[in-house]
Structure 1
Amino acid sequence: MTEHETTHDRDGAQVSTGTTVEPGETAEAAIPELVIISGMSGAGRSTAAKCLEDLGWFVVDNLPPALIPTMVELGARSQGNVARIAVVVDVRGRQFFDALRESLADLDSKGVTRRIVFLESSDDALVRRFESVRRPHPLQGDGRITDGIAAERDLLRELRGDADLVIDTSSLNVHELRAKMDAQFAGDEEPELRATVMSFGYKYGLPVDADLVVDCRFIPNPHWVPELRPFTGLNEEVSGYVFSQPGAKEFLDRYTELLQLIATGYRREGKRYVTIAVGCTGGKHRSVAMSEKLAARLASEGVETVVVHRDMGRE
């Protein structure tokens, strides 16, 4: 499979994803911001971590606390590519909790900005959640779920006391927890929606990861125009031909309006990524031209957009 990828900025212009450093030029090391996520099993640690990941944080699950300073140091060497790190610490790494305080003291001495987020929940809520997924509590052993919960509370009591933010998820659903995390870590700006616009050919099959699929086969096919056949939808003449056809511009305008409505709902529901598949017969002409225009429109509306042409290079 051949893929061609471009990105668009908020004004719709194509931009490169690379960064150029001139010879002899060095990037200043920046100490990453750090968040440590912990709390009760079943209280929503994974959801909290995923939320930070969607906000652009580099997330590491189940990292031994003794390695946290090393992770921060590696982030500082990334030339700004890893500016915010979130680490999930839980009972799977309980043998390392003795090293956590030493690691935190080390980070404080280096001026690292760090916060501890602790996810809490009532015993009743935790029991219901474990029973609903039919999984044992990590610490219950041969006992009951409540035994495991009690053991975990005792183990995490000191860490909970050191937490900068405690979130009780007893009565929260997934969307409400994400909203609380967004309120704490998204800043004043609304978290961005990131879109992948993928052109494809129906004769090669639908993209399995598409959230939305739209069909451009109602537009006359440039394949049957001899002087256009060798080119792709990235060619200006092919694109001009596609958008000179009846209904093409109207389709772009109205589908963009529909996507704006959907994007607002996605943000409200905590969905941060969407894949929009645009298809034609072979994935070479119509879908490519439409995908490029659609991506530019979305970018002009503040949606971070990547374009992937899945089948453009196929014969």
Structure 2
Amino acid sequence: MSEGTRHEAAGEVLIVTGMSGAGRSTAANALEDLGWYVVDNLPPQMLKPLLDLTEMAGGVLPRVAVVVDVRGRDLFSDLPEAMRALRERRQIRLMFLDASDDVLVRRFEAVRRPHPLQGGGTLVDGIRLERARLAAVRESADVIIDTSAYNIHQLATQVTDLFTAAGAARHTLTLLSFGFKYGLPPDADLVADMRFLPNPFWDERLRPFTGEDAEVREYVLGQEGAREFLDAYTQALRPVLEGYQRENKSHSVVAVGCTGGKHRSVVMVRELAERLASVPGVAVRVSDRDLGRE
């Protein structure tokens, strides 16, 4: 593999830096939820070895975000030079998080922690020293986010909006079929009960089949209330899924149960999956917890 091909296969690299208290941890968490491989508090001198590793991995780490900040003490002063050298080699973006001094002071006071650079001085002394050290880095940033007016949820939303690939899912929905007689799924966000429909188990012709078979599907969907439930529940879930995205909830489980988890629930999760596949920003997967049980 040529050097140019290795660089292309290595994928995206984002450097996350900025003022202490401006939201680097929140931004890193949001990126991790989007599937980025996040490395926190990496000295600038380690950036080149990390990039070498991503290139040797051959696409295994398609998106890498590295948090670099003044916690690295004197090592941090090498960041501008390290960035210049790396940008000559491949495309790297830098995101700088900022906030006004008075907001940073309030945030540090709220958590009762000292500024990493204040030493024996005040919070304001530490913030001013950090701002001076970061001036050149800020000028070279590709993205600057002023978080002064943001809470953590708003910042996470901003980062998600900026770094979600076009067409990529912001939320993964798992539609899980299960049997009530085996217990409720402990990780379910929402639970729907299909025991209001007649049980195909009592039809000797259908008993050997499952909800994956056409005979059972036709039977279940032909029952009074089945399609009405699907239409209504789909409409009810749409605003929920949209709200999950606004609140940066990256995954949810909607459990659909029947008595044994073999017939009715299996049919209904597949029907719901087909209807919910069109919700923007949502990737839908189907799972059957109890289908293989006797």
Question: Could you say whether these structures have the same fold, taking a TM-score greater than 0.5 normalized by the shorter chain as the test?
Answer: yes
- 1:58 match: 37
**Shift in Å at residue 139 of structure 1?**
5.1
How many Å separate the matches in 1 of 2:196 and 2:120? 63
Contact kept? 2:177, 2:261, Cα under 8 Å: yes
> Which of 131-140 and 217-226 deviates more?
131-140
- 1:213 match: 191
**Shift in Å at residue 117 of structure 1?**
1.0
Amino acid at match of 2:26: T
- 1:120 match: 98
How many Å separate the matches in 2 of 1:259 and 1:272? 15
Higher relative contact order (CA 8 A, sep 6+): 1
How many Å separate the matches in 1 of 2:6 and 2:131? 44
**Shift in Å at residue 43 of structure 1?**
1.3
TM-score, normalized by length of structure 1?
0.75
Q: Say if 1:208 and 1:108 are closer, same or farther in 2 by CA, change over 3 A.
A: same
**Does structure 1 residue 276 correspond to structure 2 residue 235?**
no
- 1:169 match: 147
How many Å separate the matches in 1 of 2:224 and 2:113? 57
For this pair of structures, how many residues does the alignment match? 289
Unpaired segments of 5 or more residues in structure 1? 1-25
State how 1:29-68 maps to structure 2 within 5 Å.
Answer: 30-68=9-47
> Which of 188-197 and 122-131 deviates more?
188-197
Q: Say if 1:171 and 1:28 are closer, same or farther in 2 by CA, change over 3 A.
A: closer
The structure with the largest helix share of the pair is: 2
How many Å separate the matches in 2 of 1:264 and 1:52? 19
What secondary structure does 2:286 align onto? strand
What secondary structure does 2:9 align onto? coil
Unpaired segments of 5 or more residues in structure 2? none
Cα deviations across residues 55-78 of structure 1 (Å, max 9, x unaligned)?
443333333333333333443445
How many Å separate the matches in 2 of 1:237 and 1:134? 64
**Does structure 1 residue 291 correspond to structure 2 residue 240?**
no
- 1:9 match: none
Q: Say if 1:184 and 1:241 are closer, same or farther in 2 by CA, change over 3 A.
A: same
How many Å separate the matches in 1 of 2:213 and 2:73? 58
Q: Among residues 206, 213, 237, which one is paired with 2:215 in the alignment?
A: 237
State how 1:18-167 maps to structure 2 within 5 Å.
Answer: 30-94=9-73, 96-110=75-89, 112-138=90-116, 145-146=123-124, 148-150=126-128, 152-167=130-145
Amino acid at match of 1:46: S
How many Å separate the matches in 2 of 1:28 and 1:40? 30
TM-score, normalized by length of structure 2?
0.80
Contact kept? 1:182, 1:191, Cα under 8 Å: no
**Shift in Å at residue 36 of structure 1?**
0.6
